[in-house]
Amino acid sequence: MLQETGKKIIILYILQILRKYTDANHTMTQQQIADRLRSEYGLEINRSTVKRNLFDLIEAGYDIQYTEVTRSQVNRQTGEREENTIYTDLYYEHDFTEAELHMIIDGLLFSRSVPYKQRKTLIDKLGKLSSSYFNQRMNHVHCMSSDSPQNPELFHTIDILDEAITAGKQVRITYNHYGTDMKLHPTTNEDGSAKRQTLNPYQMVANEGRYYLICNNDHYSTVSNYRIDRITDIELLETSVKPKNQVEGLEDGLNLQNYVYQNLNMFSGKAEKVEFIIPKSAVSLIIDFFGKHVSFHEQEDGKVSCCLQVSLEAMRRWAVEHANMVRVVSPENLVDDIREELRKAAALYGL
C-alpha cells in the first residue's frame, strides 16, 4: 500500500517518464509506464492507477497523445461479455520538434558571439527539451571552441539591454576593440582613460552570427549599430531614451526587416537608391543577400541591372568585396568612392 505522499507524487513521476522516454516515434503502453515506475522509483501500481493519473494530466492541459483500442472481455463476476477501452501508444508532445531543435542548435553551433562555455551549456539545455532518444543523437554534435576571443560579459550585457529597451531607458557603456594580444581594449579619451558612451537602445538583432544593438549615441543625431560582444561595463540609467523620431534614419520608426537589408553587415547610414550591374549568373547570389528587396531588369547584353534602397556605406563595402562581378552605376558619389577604394586596394599590390 502506497503512503499518501507516494500517491500524490505518482502523477509527477508519470509525467517525467513520458517527457524522458516518449515522443511521436517512441510510445509507451500503460504497463510499460507501470514497469518504469517500479524500476526507477520503486513504486508498485496497477494499470488502472496509471490510467487515472494520465487523464488527470490531460485534463490539466498537458499534451499527451494516445490511441484508443476497444477490447471485448468476460466479466468474471457476472459472466457477461463487456467492451473495455484501452489507451495505448502514449507519448508526450514536446514543445519543439526534433527538426526545430536541430535548427536552434545549429544556430548556436555557428554563432561567433556566444562564448564557448555558454554555447555548450545552452545546447545541453536545449537537448533536454526533447526525449532521451534525441539526447542520444546529441552525442554526435560537437560544440567547437571558437578561434575568436570571447567576451565573458556578453549575456550580462544582453540582460541589461533587454531591461533597458523594455523600460525605455538609456545605458552607459564602454566600447572596445581587439588588440594583437587577443584581448578587448576600450576606446579611450585624449587623456588615455576609458571612454564612456551614453546610448539610446532600440533593438537587438542577430546578423551573420553576431549580435548588434540598433541605437543612437546620445551625442549624435544619427542611428548606429554597435557590436554587443564588444560592449563591457554596461550600466542601466534612469534617464529615458531619445524618441526614434528624433533620430536620423528612424523618423518613421524601425522596420527591422527593411533595416537589416538596407544596412548590409550592419553598417549604418541613410538608405538611398542604388543601381548596379551584374552578370545573369549572379542573380541567385544577389537574392541570397537582398531577398525580395531588389528589383531586376534584364539587359540586351546578357547583364542584369539591379536596384534597391540601401545604406551607401554598407553598399560601398559590399560592392568592393564583390568587385569581380558587381559594377555600381549610381549614385555617382558612391561610384567615385568605390573607384577610390579599388585604387587603394590595387596600390597595395603594386598595380
Q: Which grid coordinates are listed for 138?
A: 546529441
Surface-to-core class of residue 83, CB atoms within 10 Å of its CB (0-12 exposed, 13-18 middle, 19+ buried): exposed
Which regions of the chain carry the CATH code 3.30.70?
271-348
**pLDDT tens-digit map of 326-340:** 999 999 999 999 999
The CATH fold of domain 4-92: Arc Repressor Mutant, subunit A (1.10.10)
324: Cα within 13 Å, side-chain hemisphere: 3
Is there a cis peptide before residue 115, judged by omega within 30 degrees of 0?
no
Amino acid at position 140, single letter: H
Residue among 98, 118, 97 at smallest CA distance from 109: 118
Q: Give the pLDDT confidence score for residue 150 in this predicted structure.
A: 73
Q: Residue ranges of the alpha helices (H) in 129-214?
A: 132-137, 154-167
Distance CA 293, CA 280 (A): 18
Q: Give the pLDDT confidence score for residue 1 in this predicted structure.
A: 44
**pLDDT tens-digit map of 203-215:** 888 776 678 899 9
- Please, are residues 122 and 156 in contact by the beta-carbon 8 Å criterion? no
- Please tell me the pTM assigned to this model: 0.57
Q: Give the pLDDT confidence score for residue 263 in this predicted structure.
A: 64
- The dotted CATH code for 271-348 is 3.30.70
- Please, are residues 268 and 215 in contact by the beta-carbon 8 Å criterion? no
- Please, are residues 174 and 231 in contact by the beta-carbon 8 Å criterion? yes
Distance CA 93, CA 346 (A): 60
Q: Give the pLDDT confidence score for residue 135 in this predicted structure.
A: 67
Residue ranges of the chain with per-residue pLDDT less than 50: 1, 140, 142
Cα angle for residues 117, 121, 127 (degrees, 5° grid)? 145
Residue among 20, 50, 48 at smallest CA distance from 33: 50
Q: Residue ranges of the alpha helices (H) in 191-265?
A: 256-262
Residue among 16, 51, 54 at smallest CA distance from 36: 16
Q: Give the pLDDT confidence score for residue 6 in this predicted structure.
A: 58
Which regions of the chain carry the CATH code 1.10.10?
4-92
Distance CA 186, CA 188 (A): 6
Q: Beta 231-240 vs 224-227: how paired, if at all? A: unpaired
Query: What is the SS3 string spanning 259-318?
Result: HHHHCHHHCCCCEEEEEEEEEHHHHHHHHHHHHHHCEEEECCCCEEEEEEEEEHHHHHHH
Q: Give the pLDDT confidence score for residue 7 in this predicted structure.
A: 63
Q: Which grid coordinates are listed for 191?
A: 587623456
Distance CA 113, CA 169 (A): 25
